[in-house]
Amino acid sequence: MRKAARIAMVLFLGGGLWLAFKPGAVGNPRLSFLPYYVNEFVDHMDFWFNLLAFTALAFTAWLAFGPQHGTFEKAINRALWVLGIITVMNIMVEVVQSSIPGRRVDQADVWAGMLGCVLGIFGGCLVQRMMNRRAQDGPPARVLFVDQTGRLGGAELMLLDIAAARAADSEVVLFQDGEFRTALEERGVKTRVLPLGEEAAVVDKQAGMLHALRAMPALCGLILRLAHAARGFDVVYANTAKALIIGGPAAWLARRALVFHLHDIVSAGHFSAMNRRALIFCSNYFASAVIANSEATQEAFIASGGRAELCSVVPNGFHITDEVPATAETTRVRESFGIPAGAWTVLMAGRLTPWKGQKVLLEALKAVPQAHVVLLGDALFTAEDHAYAAALRAQAAEPSLAGRVHFAGFRTDTRTFFELADVVVHASIHPEPFGRVIVEGMLAGRAVIATKAGGAAEIIDHEQTGLHVAPDDANDLAQALLRLQKDPALALELAQNACRTARATYGLDAVQAKIEAVISKSAFPDIKATPAPAAAAA
């Protein structure tokens, strides 16, 4: 629409200027190719023709450059600009025309121009309003979700629920194939893989300038392919940092709104300096909204230079269910790992990567007699993660731990594992952006111990809904474990409080509604009420 209005505006402007300055414009006849009596008529109707021409010019200028959204104040401001620019042009044309022998400034033309301008802008406002109404009644925004990985991390599990709820109006682009694509397709989400070149795939969160330069050709190719794909959608929704860096320019090229879902703390612990700068630049320049998964994530984003007005906090959401895995299944899984019946069991769920702190838990376990630990999760992303997993296995084989640490690998039946545990531990040594596993532990009715940093510190109320411990402090963690091991009544009380709180705070429907509001606001900025996608509403 804007494009068509701009073309029409240029045609009106060009036509008007040609008529004003065309050769032979000196005196009458004004339109040499028309019969004399028509020219006479045109001369008499001069004021009205000017009025009509300027109305059309201002109308198209408003549709081309007027605000599509915003306040009344903003609209008045823009209207004054359009009126001012066209009037200055109008007067300049009259002044230049008056230098042509036989022509003089025609004040009536100037007045006709100004009046036409006001009428045109008024008409433009009315049409804009009508178009917005129609968009409001129309279908929900079409969203192209973009994620860099084919593996199932926390960010991907959140996206799985969001995309599945609006599958009819969405598609997901992944830069890597894997079990995430399978999970999306199983839930009816159209998914396509646009692979990163090998050079670009190795650029991770800690990458430096050299890696980034080498990856540039592959990144540019991917940006163009993504821009092409984005044309069929209203919004591009980047779910990871790499998706933002590629999806941002792609959305800009395709002239589509960009929403960035920030699942990471933008800090030196999680990103290299170059990646931090790129992430903040792309957010500030390309995104119309940034969704942070916790207050801590939002604070780090703003502290790193991110625009505060873009950012809102929406926590992760979870299916709230009363269904519990059958006891027989829980017992079977316990036995399959060789955990003795009745052994006090600690679960730690999350990918095996140094900052998640599994090493700290194993260290703490040495001081907790007879306790067993189940490590649920695998090394997902980097070579460093795989080396860390190997080091953990070596640590678990130490005599003081042998037989008490069980590696479950990556599983999709996570609820069974929460069920078999007495206590859930979260031990990240860097601030956790959100910490899904903490909420999952709470929803499963387990006492949770979590490190006091980042999003984890926001989820748990110390001594009420769980226990906080200092990050990277095996001794502190051991003390908290011993406390709960010796005091099952305390563990039960914390667990019950936690379950109530988590059910009230992290329901998927409410979280999805908030995300949908951000998407709609980005796609249809003029509309106050947000249309719900068919699938989500169902």
Binding residues for ligand UDP (CB under 6 A): 152-155, 157, 349-351, 376-377, 410-412, 414, 434-437, 440
The residue with its CB nearest to ligand UDP is 154
Closer residue to ligand UDP in complex, CB, 351/372: 351
Cβ atoms 183, 151 nearer than 8 A? no
In degrees and rounded to multiples of 5, residue 428 shows phi and psi of -55, 135
Closer residue to ligand UDP in complex, CB, 310/443: 443
* Separation of alpha carbons 461 and 464, rounded Å: 5
* Separation of alpha carbons 236 and 218, rounded Å: 20
Closer residue to ligand UDP in complex, CB, 239/283: 239
As measured in angstroms, the least distance from the Cβ of 265 to ligand UDP is 11
Which has the closest alpha carbon to 376: 475, 444, 470, 478?
Answer: 444
Closer residue to ligand UDP in complex, CB, 150/533: 150
As measured in angstroms, the least distance from the Cβ of 193 to ligand UDP is 21
* Separation of alpha carbons 99 and 112, rounded Å: 21
* Separation of alpha carbons 433 and 161, rounded Å: 19
Closer residue to ligand UDP in complex, CB, 109/422: 422
Q: Which two tokens stand for residue 521?
A: 């606001």
Cβ atoms 450, 469 nearer than 8 A? yes
Closer residue to ligand UDP in complex, CB, 90/293: 293
As measured in angstroms, the least distance from the Cβ of 140 to ligand UDP is 27
Closer residue to ligand UDP in complex, CB, 61/152: 152
As measured in angstroms, the least distance from the Cβ of 143 to ligand UDP is 21
Contacts 24+ apart (CB under 8 A), 467-471: 467/494, 469/427, 471/357, 471/427, 471/428, 471/429, 471/430, 471/431
Cβ atoms 93, 106 nearer than 8 A? no
Q: Which two tokens stand for residue 486?
A: 């010796």
User: If residue 236 lies in a helix (H) or strand (E), which one and from where to where?
Assistant: strand 235-238
Closer residue to ligand UDP in complex, CB, 179/487: 179
As measured in angstroms, the least distance from the Cβ of 255 to ligand UDP is 32
In degrees and rounded to multiples of 5, residue 225 shows phi and psi of -65, -40
As measured in angstroms, the least distance from the Cβ of 435 to ligand UDP is 5
Which has the closest alpha carbon to 382: 356, 352, 410?
Answer: 352
As measured in angstroms, the least distance from the Cβ of 174 to ligand UDP is 16
As measured in angstroms, the least distance from the Cβ of 428 to ligand UDP is 8
Closer residue to ligand UDP in complex, CB, 223/348: 348
Closer residue to ligand UDP in complex, CB, 155/429: 155
CB burial of 352-383 (b: ≥16 within 10 Å; e: otherwise) equals bbbebbbbbbbbbbbebeebbbbbbbbbbeee
As measured in angstroms, the least distance from the Cβ of 436 to ligand UDP is 3
As measured in angstroms, the least distance from the Cβ of 57 to ligand UDP is 54
* Separation of alpha carbons 314 and 515, rounded Å: 7
Closer residue to ligand UDP in complex, CB, 321/412: 412
As measured in angstroms, the least distance from the Cβ of 147 to ligand UDP is 12
* Separation of alpha carbons 263 and 316, rounded Å: 9
Which residues neighbour 514 within 8 Å (Cβ) at sequence distance 6 or greater?
Answer: 312, 314
What one-character-per-residue DSSP string does 168-224 give? GGEEEEESS-SHHHHHHHHTT-EEEE-PPPHHHHT--TT--HHHHHHHHHHHHHHHH
